[in-house]
Structure 1
Amino acid sequence: MSQTIATFGQVTDQGFVPADAETAPDDQTGARTVLSQFALLQIDGPDSEKFLQGQLTSDMQSVTFEQWQAGACCDAKGRMIANFIATRSETGFVLRLPASQAEVLINHLKKYAVFFKATMTLAENIEIIGEFNASPSEKSMSGEDVRVLGWPDGRCEYWVPEELIDKYLSDHLLEPESRWHASDVESGWLWVQPSSSAAWIPQYCDWQAHDGISFSKGCYTGQEVVARLQYLGKSKRHLYQVAPCPELPDIMSDVLVNGKAKGELASRICFDGKYTGLAVVSSDEETLSGECGNQKITLRRVFYTEDQRG
């Protein structure tokens, strides 16, 4: 965390917490937070597009300077090593993903990168600032010195050089980062973590609902498995929201339905004194009652409105 960010709050295991933790007013238009738990991975070089096209679920040829795109990197069994949103840069691409997954993805891609003129580096001296209650946007991207990314659910994020952080945080209501993660849960955005890496095929996490899988591009690692599930079968596992409850165990804990393990807790967020999250569960039911750890939980199948789709 930069010294400038430290003047506005601290980073805990739940992310950024503003120094002024007073109750937020009803009108939170323009409220911002620091997305400390995400990182920017730069893939640069003349072969960057060809390199990524053969490894990622997204069609990198269709990623433009005006729109970002969701994507994932899978192993040969079609299971996600990491997932992200991708943008095009002047020298290649930038992937925004959980900071804990950045080195995992780099290490996975290294064995393929040696055949291409492409480099992978983590962006330094740039902070990601999130804003709530902006105007809904169709994955828009703009700006040069500061990249501005619009989200379909009305959020917005800024990729801000360190010297401009004060300008982007001063005179704004600051919210805890957990509110951003809770919005991800509400909109069905599940991010792979180190403990869940290589656990799920993208469709188990509804990644196709966020346009994170191209079914028309050429081959990529894991493509055969992902395509077979799409065209020859029906996914028996789906994404569920965990209704707010007093406690939840660590992610990848079993989700029990009628005493039987039916899936795993995939994300865990504490917001406004309650825990919520997403779970990958083998069921087609809209609502389920179950247990996770010692906690009774209610699960609701994630369905997407136009404003939630990525």
Structure 2
Amino acid sequence: MSTPMVLASTARITHLACVDVKGEDAEKFLQGQTSAHVALSNGHFAPLTCFCTPKGRMLANAQLLRLSDNHFRLVLSNTLLEPLIAHLKKFAAFYRAELSAPGDVTLLGAATDDASVIADTLNLSLPKASWQHQSDDQGNSALCYPDGVEDETSDRWLFVLTDSAAEHFQADAEPHHWQLSDIRRGLAWLEADQQDKYLPQMLNWEALGGISFKKGCYTGQEVVARAHFRGQVKKRLARGVIKGSKSLEHGASITNAAEKTVGEVVTSAVNDHGQVEILAIINTKALEEDGELTLEKQPLALCELPYRIERLDPEQLSQTVPSQ
């Protein structure tokens, strides 16, 4: 093998992993389990989605790709790989559908210049719109993600590659920069210790286009829809920053001026300025008040999210992705 190309702005992404769903009934099976309208995953648009308990609590959130007519791939937290497969297999037994974790997959996160190099080297088309993906018949995919960094309009790409394709590249960037971009984008990926805790709307999932309110039934759909149409979501995902040099534990408490707990950390990452950036689920009443919030004995400065807290139908979002 030739010497791998060194890519300074590319990181190997190990906190995410893949689940494959294959079979003649794969689409029908997923349609009854996931918040996405599976037909929208058409080989070019890769909708965000989630899996819930009958009570509407999230077991996992993911991005859904269609690689062929009977082959779908989910990208999600690596800690949820085995739990989600075990959960879904209980229902897959009634369908011609099989679930597995592909063992020969490498994920790379790349900025614009490096993404072009990877795509050109592999003769892989580079998608240009957020949540769009392009895949080849070798099992390689490029997914376009919105960049969360303030004052920048460039996108970023997640490459899901076979191990043999990934061997062409040496990723030299730190993966926490990818996690920071997700945080700045207001995009939180659940991990295993957070299962069965949150309604999808608490993670602003409907504002990211991760819930179809126009599809048929799926597990937890009734509770999720009721919370939306009755406006019963009293906690929301928010961005914030504190001084610090290490990431925080999931569930770390956020308190108000009266030292009452009003929120908890969902995910965090350290930036290059001696700060910890977080996404946290906070009571909406506390978000509306002017009082100081505290985390880890530090004042918590809230930051704006890059989207509005309002419903974004994936059916509408998919129309911005050309059907090729």
CA distance in 2, matches of 1:53, 1:280: 28
Closer, same or farther in 2 for the Cα pair 1:239/1:221, shift >3 Å? same
CA offsets per residue over residues 29-56 of structure 1, 9 Å max, x none? x821111111110011111111111111
Q: What is aligned with 1:151?
A: 145
1:301, distance to aligned residue in structure 2 (A): 4.9
Confirm whether residue 36 of structure 1 aligns to residue 30 of structure 2: no
What RMSD in Å do the two structures reach over aligned CA positions?
2.5
Closer, same or farther in 2 for the Cα pair 1:66/1:262, shift >3 Å? same
SS in 1 for 2:20: strand
Does the 8 A contact of 2:146 with 2:185 survive in 1? Answer: no
SS in 1 for 2:166: helix
Q: What is aligned with 1:54?
A: 32
Does the 8 A contact of 1:287 with 1:299 survive in 2? Answer: no
1:138, distance to aligned residue in structure 2 (A): 3.0
1:125, distance to aligned residue in structure 2 (A): 1.3
Please report the TM-score for the alignment, with normalisation by the length of structure 1. 0.83
SS in 1 for 2:181: helix
Q: What is aligned with 2:275?
A: 274
CA distance in 1, matches of 2:291, 2:95: 48
* Range 160-169 or range 256-265, more displaced: 160-169
Question: Which runs of structure 2 are paired with 1:58-207 in the superposition (5 Å)?
Answer: 58-90=36-68, 91-133=70-112, 137-144=129-136, 145=138, 146-153=140-147, 154-169=155-170, 174-207=172-205
CA offsets per residue over residues 205-245 of structure 1, 9 Å max, x none? 11112110000000111111110111122422111112142
CA distance in 1, matches of 2:193, 2:263: 15
Closer, same or farther in 2 for the Cα pair 1:304/1:126, shift >3 Å? same
Q: What is aligned with 2:23?
A: 45
CA distance in 2, matches of 1:44, 1:288: 51
Q: What is aligned with 1:11?
A: none
Count of residues in Structure 1 that have an aligned counterpart in Structure 2:
280
SS in 2 for 1:120: strand
CA distance in 1, matches of 2:183, 2:291: 17
Q: Amino acid of the residue matched to residue 142 of structure 2?
A: V
Confirm whether residue 285 of structure 1 aligns to residue 288 of structure 2: yes
CA distance in 2, matches of 1:163, 1:287: 54
SS in 1 for 2:167: helix
SS in 2 for 1:268: strand
CA distance in 1, matches of 2:247, 2:188: 16
CA offsets per residue over residues 108-161 of structure 1, 9 Å max, x none? 212211111111100111101111246862311113132111113301111111
Q: What is aligned with 1:253?
A: 252
CA offsets per residue over residues 46-98 of structure 1, 9 Å max, x none? 11111111111111121111111100000011110000000002232100001
Q: What is aligned with 2:150?
A: none
Q: Amino acid of the residue matched to residue 137 of structure 1?
A: A
Q: What is aligned with 2:307?
A: 304
* Range 45-54 or range 132-141, more displaced: 132-141
SS in 2 for 1:267: strand
CA distance in 1, matches of 2:83, 2:298: 31
SS in 2 for 1:89: strand
Does the 8 A contact of 1:286 with 1:301 survive in 2? Answer: no
Please report the TM-score for the alignment, with normalisation by the length of structure 2. 0.80
Q: Amino acid of the residue matched to residue 167 of structure 2?
A: D
Extract unaligned runs of 5+ from structure 1: 1-6, 9-19, 21-27
Q: Amino acid of the residue matched to residue 263 of structure 1?
A: G
CA distance in 1, matches of 2:292, 2:184: 19
Does the 8 A contact of 1:241 with 1:300 survive in 2? Answer: yes
Extract unaligned runs of 5+ from structure 2: 116-126, 148-154, 318-324
Question: Which runs of structure 2 are paired with 1:190-229 in the superposition (5 Å)?
Answer: 190-229=188-227
Q: Amino acid of the residue matched to residue 217 of structure 1?
A: K
CA distance in 2, matches of 1:292, 1:190: 19
CA distance in 1, matches of 2:67, 2:237: 32
Q: Amino acid of the residue matched to residue 295 of structure 2?
A: C
